[in-house]
Amino acid sequence: MERLHGHYDHPRRAGVQDVRAGGGVRLRSRVLVLGLLACAALAGCGTATPTVTPAAQPPAATELPSVADVTTPEPTASPTPALPDPCSLLTQAEADQLAGLKLRDPLPEGDPPTNCVWPAPLTGSVAQVEVGVGDGAKKFLDTDKDVLQHDFARVPGLGDEAWVEDDTVFVRVGELWFSLHLVGYAGTSEYRPKLEALAKTIIGRL
């Protein structure tokens, strides 16, 4: 009995079936390739691990020096002004005129000199003239005025400060004191004007 061809036994149908079967395989292959490409793209871009830049660290604090490490410069002392040469403040003729006789040549005392003496002649008189400068002159004033309680008078208009007693005048010019002393005439106030007048001459030579 001749076998009847079923629906799927027809050669044309079978070809279609084979074509469909082959096309399905090719379609699945394309889908697979596209899936692999998509995964590769995700692995290369979408799933890349981001680079984390570390935060900048703050600069280390500078260690300050301790108090012991800081050297404090020592204060510089103001230089003491040089004292004038006392022997240059009075001439030989002026000393002789004040004493009323011929005195010997002046003798400086101290190194540097702070006192100058025009000594009395070798015979006849004990009179002499002395000029002192600096702290010694101020100490001379303090001793006569405060310790020995000599009779003093203030002399206005003479230097910045001036005091006079019978045989000596003391004058301050700025911070410098000087004294003009007439030895051997204590208790004789008549010499005060001569001492004051000669002190003005000395001020002009400072």
Instruction: Kindly report the pTM of this predicted structure.
Output: 0.62
Q: What is the pLDDT of residue 123?
A: 86
Mean pLDDT of 73-95: 82
Quote the tokens at residue 8.
């799927």
Q: What is the pLDDT of residue 58?
A: 56
| Whole-angstrom distance, CA of residue 177 vs CA of residue 180 | 10
